[in-house]
Structure 1
Amino acid sequence: MSETMDALRPEENKMGTMPVNKLLLTMSLPMVISMLIQALYNVVDSIFVAQIGETALTAVSLAFPIQNLIIAIAVGTGVGVNALLSRSLGEKNQKGANLAAVNGIFVFILSYIVSALLGILFSRFYFTVQTDNAEIISQGTAYLSICTIFSFGVYLEIALERIMQSTGRTIYNMITQGLGAVINIILDPILIFGLFGLPRLGIAGAAIATVIGQIIAMMLLLYFNLTRNPDVDLNMRGFRPHKETITNIYKVGLPSIIMQSIGSVMTFGVNKILLLFSETAVSVFGIFFKLQSFIFMPVFGLNNGMVPIVAYNWGAKNRDRIMKTIRSSIIGSVSIMFLGLIIFQAFPVQLLQLFDASEHMISIGVPALRIISLGFLFAGYCIIIGSVFQALGNGVYSLIVSVARQLLCILPIAYIFAKVFGLHAIWYAFPLAETMSLVLSTILFQRIYIKCIKKL
């Protein structure tokens, strides 16, 4: 098996030789497509849930911070694995690359065990601290319990995606993410409404459809990694945790975990503020997150294609390729966000009507979508710069920007505006926070350029 892998391994990884723009497109396009499919699933899932009733949509919206927390832990850990694995390959350190991969899988499994236990013990409590609506508590507990107990699918799916991505084989991620999302979309109406003679499961059916799609995607990714990825050996036989490797994974990954987890804290806090006015406002906020995924997911796909290129060429000490990759990524990201801004400004009513929005929901949702989307252009730039920090081994800078944006800006401004001006003013906290993030990200990038890039 080892000899076969050696024969398949190219003399030089394409991340160090292929023209940058072509490489970025090659790396990113499969991720963009797969994430667009994932975004489609997010929207379709909520459209079906909305047909159960507004309380179901509110329950799913309130559950979102915990689902986002699971994703944050998985993606943040993946950032650490990705950066360490790509850098090891750039340095031609095969042993280091293999250690990064197998120890990465190990810490992902530990993360799942913790998430499952917390889901079993605290799902109902999580909803009772937010609302006294018995229907929302019941629906939300059922939904969140299933998503956490069976979250091994999403944890290992992301782990295996990041390993494949680190070696430049993102086409397989497109296949698996796309298949998982399509399975979710197909199963949603079947399990929610009890089609083809199956029992009507309601909101629990939406959760079951989600975890089935994740598990199938995980299994396919495992197959692809074992048979189509000669750059990394995932043989766990005789495995022992490697302290230094795990430390290096979390040195980069932990700030990313905290940074992305802050998004869950922010969403939870904003939901609490919105509940001062109505449960419908919470549903609107949840709808916004589903809709914005159509804009942000392609940017994250571009972003995921960029990270291993920057990390690899940092390991290979190639400054020109690093800077060209960053510039091209920013141009692509801001262009996508500009298109999103136009859509949200021009068609807010039509977007809300996808979710059977009442007149009351539309009256709250139209200004919300138009105001929050004003920050899209700045967000596109900041997403790329934040991931550059992580790819260069300085995730603390990303953490600083995220804390400042979401905890020091969005939450305090949203609360003050809610108290002083009312519900519609809350949404202005988001573009104001993006403006601050733009300034701070630029200042920190100048510092890391001088420290890490300029002297290469």
Structure 2
Amino acid sequence: VAYGDTPETTDLAIGAFGIINSYAMLFFMIIMGVAQGMQPIVGFNFGAQNMERVKTTYSYSCAVNLLVSIVGFTLAMLMPRAIVGMFTSSKPMVDLCAPALRMTLAGFSLLGFQITTTQFFQSIGLSRKAIFLSLTRQMLFLIPCLLIIPRFLGLNGVWWSMPISDMASVILAFVMITVHMKRLGHTEKLTAVN
């Protein structure tokens, strides 16, 4: 199904997605770098049963990555036309892509947390949880959103599907890490007693 008033609009929308993806990737690369840099520190300290350092490293990494994702989100909200203008000089493309950038990245501000949490689970040997979390954004939540929401909102439904799936994956990551940290705290208490 093509979403757009005309074939030209559909072609512009495909180009707009490429621009949005390129912009988001600038921040994703930084976030992934921080998250992957966290992994050996967390893995080593988890193996050494130094849970305090595990939690501290995770917290610092989350804070840095949240800051990066909030910067990406804020720039997209405040100056979408200027950002799109760095990739194209086509006025129709800028007119279509600027609001699309805002819609698509509406959930971007908390993605730093979700990605860091995914890498955290991987670094402590919980690869199934890590794989599950990494699939939630692009498959588990996004595909159903793309199949349902555009039927009601057209092209805007495609753009809105992304922040909805992003927020759903952030909420899921929050629930999973909260449960896991409670278990870690319980394990620490048992170790201290013994």
The TM-score with structure 1 as length reference comes to 0.38
RMSD: 2.2
1:301 aligns with 2:33: yes
Which of 71, 87, 93 is residue 361 of structure 1 equivalent to? 93
User: Match for residue 379 of structure 1?
Assistant: 111
Match of 2:152 in 1: 420
Amino acid at match of 2:14: V
Aligned length: 185
Note closer, same or farther for the CA distance 1:352–1:279 as it changes in structure 2 (3 Å cut). same
1:436 aligns with 2:168: yes
Instruction: Tell me, yes or no, if the aligned pair for 2:3 and 2:154 is still in contact at 8 Å.
Output: no
Residue pair 1:281, 1:364 contacting (<8 A) in 2 also:
yes
Kept after mapping to 1: 8 A contact 2:104/2:163: yes
CA–CA separation in structure 2 for the residues paired with 1:441 and 1:311: 19
Q: Which residue of 2 aligns with 1:102?
A: none
CA-to-aligned-CA distance 1:45-83 (integer Å, 9 cap, x gap): xxxxxxxxxxxxxxxxxxxxxxxxxxxxxxxxxxxxxxx
- Residues 274 and 400 of structure 1, relative CA distance in 2, 3 Å threshold: farther
1:397 aligned to 2:122? Answer: no
Whole-angstrom distance in 2 between the partners of 1:357 and 1:273: 25
Q: Answer whether contact 2:105 2:163 (CA < 8 A) is retained.
A: yes
SS at match of 2:187: coil
Instruction: Give aligned-pair identity as a percent.
Output: 25
CA distance in 1, matches of 2:146, 2:179: 31
TM-superposed deviation, 1:439: 1.7
CA distance in 2: counterparts of 1:453 and 1:282, whole angstroms:
47
* Deviation of the 1:444 alpha carbon: 1.4
Whole-angstrom CA distance in 1 between matches of 2:155 and 2:129: 33
- What corresponds to 1:282 in structure 2? 14
Structure 2 equivalent of residue 326 of structure 1: 58
Per the alignment, in what secondary structure is the counterpart of residue 278 of structure 1? helix
SS in 1 for 2:107: helix
Consecutive unaligned residues in structure 2, runs of 5 or more: 189-194
Tell me if structure 2 keeps the 8 A contact 1:314–1:392. yes
Which of 448, 451, 455 matches 2:180? 448
Q: Which residue of structure 2 lines up, in the alignment, with residue 315 of structure 1?
A: 47
**Mapped partners of 1:335, 1:300: distance in 2:** 13
Unaligned runs of 5+ in 1: 1-271
Residues 273 and 383 from structure 1, CA distance in 2 versus in 1: closer, same or farther, beyond 3 angstroms? farther
SS of the counterpart of 2:14?
A: helix
- After TM superposition, the structure 1 = structure 2 runs for residues 24-63 of structure 1, keeping only pairs within 5 Å, are none
Aligned equivalents of 1:352, 1:278: Cα separation in 2: 17
Please give the TM-score of this superposition, normalised by the length of structure 2.
0.85
CA deviations 1:369-414 (Å, max 9, x no partner) are 1112221122111011111110011121122233333223222222
